[in-house]
Amino acid sequence: NYGGNLQLDFRLHPNHKTIVGLHYLADELEAHKLSSTTTAIQRPSMPFPVTSSTVSTPYIKAAINTTSLFAQDEWRLSDDLKLTAGLRYFYVKNDLKKSDPGLMNDDETYRKFIKSFGLVYTGFTNTSLRASYSEGFTIPNLAKLYTTTTAGGQTVHNNPNLKPETSKNYELGARYSNNNLVLDSAIFYSTAKNYITSLSCGASTACASTALATDNIYVNADSAKTYGLEFLAEYTLPDTFITPYMSGTWMTREETHSGIKTKDTDTPKLFGRIGVRNEFLLFDKPVWSDLYLRAASKNRSSSGTLPGWGTLNLSAGINFGKDDSSSVSISLLNITNKKYMASYSELPASGTNIEIATRFRFW
C-alpha cells in the first residue's frame, strides 16, 4: 500500500486552532494462493482414519482506494474549557481487477460524512475532565474481502459481500497528574451497524457448502453494542526514572445476528498490560527500556472458547538527531514462547520473535 497526507494549520483567531487536509491511501492485493487441506476421519468400522484432501488455487487482483477530506477546529472557550469539533468526508472505491470466475461481486463505491466533538475541562487542580462523541466508518480490508487464511488448524474464509461498518461512540473520562503519579480512567459506549466480525460456519449461512462447520467466516452483524472501562496508573519512583505502570480495559460486546443477540463475540472481557519502564541517558542521548506483561482473559465465540493468555516482553530504544526526533528500538516479544490465539479471526500468535523499528526525521 502507499498514500500521502496533506495538512494545513491555521490560527484565524487567537482562541482557535484550525486544520484542514487531504488523505489518500491505495491498498492493493495480488494473490495466487495454493491451499491444500487434509482431513482425517475416524470411522468405527475401520482401524485407521480415512483421509481426504482438497487443493485450491484461487487468484485475485484487487485494490481499495480511499480519499478523505478533513477539517478540525479547536476552540478555547475559556482558560479552563476547550471544545474540539471535526468533520471528515470519505470517498472509497473498491476495484476488483481480476478474479476467478464467479467468486466476487462487482466494484463498489462508498461516500460518507462523519463528525466528532470533544470537550476538555481543566478547572480542577492537577485534574482534567473530558467528554467526546465521534462517528466511525470502517471499510472491510482486502484480506477480509478476498483471501481465505488457514493456520494452526483454523480456517477463516473471506466474504466479498461485506458492507462498511458505521458506528457512534461516546466517552467520559478523567485524568489526574501530580508530580510522579498519573491516573486516568474513562467509560465508553458504542453502537455499530453492519459490525464486521466473524462467525463459525456452523452458525452462519454465508459459508460455501464445502466449508467445515468448525471454519470461520467474516460477516456483518446487524448491529453491535460495546461498553466498558479503560484505566491507566503509573508512578515514577522518587529520584529515579523508573516507572511501574498498569493499563487495561474491561469490555462487553453484544452482537445481533438475524434478530438473535449474543455476547459470545470472540472478545475477551479483560485485557491489559503491566510493566516497568526506565529512562536514562547514554552518551547524552535518551535511552529507554520497557519490561512488560501483556495478558487477556478467555473469550467465547460461536466457534468455542479460547483460554486466557499472557506474554512476557522486553523493549529498548534510543532517540537521536535534531530534538531527539529520530529513534531506533528493538523488542524481544513472547519471551517464554507462549502458544496462543488471541481470537478466532486471527492467526495463531507468533512464538518468541524480535522486532526492530526505526524512525528518522530529515528536516
- Residue 10 inside a domain? The answer is yes
pLDDT of residue 363: 66
Q: Cα–Cα distances in Å, from 45 out to 48, 50, 53, 69?
A: 9, 11, 21, 66
Taking all residues of the chain, what is their mean pLDDT, rounded to a whole number?
A: 89
Geometric angle at alpha carbon 163, from 142 and 160, rounded to 5°: 45
Going by C-alpha positions, the residue among 268, 266, 358, 278 that lies closest to residue 310 is 268
Q: 64 or 324: which carries more pLDDT confidence?
A: 64
327, 319 Cβ separation under 8 angstroms: yes
Each residue of 28-63: pLDDT tens digit? 988 776 666 555 555 566 555 555 445 455 678 889
Q: Cα–Cα distances in Å, from 254 out to 168, 238, 259, 263?
A: 15, 44, 12, 5
- Residue 63 inside a domain? The answer is yes
- Residue 359 inside a domain? The answer is no
- Residue 95 inside a domain? The answer is yes
Q: 52-61, 67-76, 115-124, 171-180: lowest mean pLDDT where? A: 52-61
Contacts of 81 (CB under 8 A, 6+ apart): 119, 120, 121, 122, 123
Each residue of 325-339: pLDDT tens digit? 788 999 999 999 999
- Residue 296 inside a domain? The answer is no
Each residue of 192-208: pLDDT tens digit? 999 999 888 888 888 88
- Residue 74 inside a domain? The answer is yes
Going by C-alpha positions, the residue among 88, 51, 68 that lies closest to residue 4 is 68
Label residues 218-227 b or e (16+ Cβ within 10 Å = b): bbbbbebbbe
Cross-strand partners of 137 = 166
Going by C-alpha positions, the residue among 311, 321, 320 that lies closest to residue 348 is 311
Contacts of 122 (CB under 8 A, 6+ apart): 80, 81, 82, 128, 129
CA 269 to chain centre: 16
pLDDT of residue 340: 93
Residue numbers of the domain that contains 96: 1-117
Give me the sign of the Cα torsion angle 211, 37, 96, 21. positive
Mean pLDDT value of segment 72-82: 96
- Residue 37 inside a domain? The answer is yes
- Does pLDDT of 130 surpass 90? yes
Report the domain count for the chain: 1
Q: 283 or 37: which carries more pLDDT confidence?
A: 283
- Does pLDDT of 156 surpass 90? no
Q: Helices (H), strands (E): how many in the chain?
A: 1, 22
pLDDT of residue 226: 97
Would you place residue 147 in the very low, low, confident or very high pLDDT band (cuts 50, 70, 90)? Answer: confident
- Residue 48 inside a domain? The answer is yes
pLDDT of residue 1: 87
How far apart CA 74 and CA 302 sit, in angstroms, is 44
Would you place residue 149 in the very low, low, confident or very high pLDDT band (cuts 50, 70, 90)? Answer: confident
Going by C-alpha positions, the residue among 123, 118, 111, 117 that lies closest to residue 80 is 123
Going by C-alpha positions, the residue among 231, 221, 223 that lies closest to residue 188 is 231
178, 163 Cβ separation under 8 angstroms: no
DSSP result, 191-242: EEEEEEEEEETTT-SSS-TTS-TT-EEEEEEEEEEEEEEEEEEEEPPTTS-E
Residue 153 DSSP symbol: T
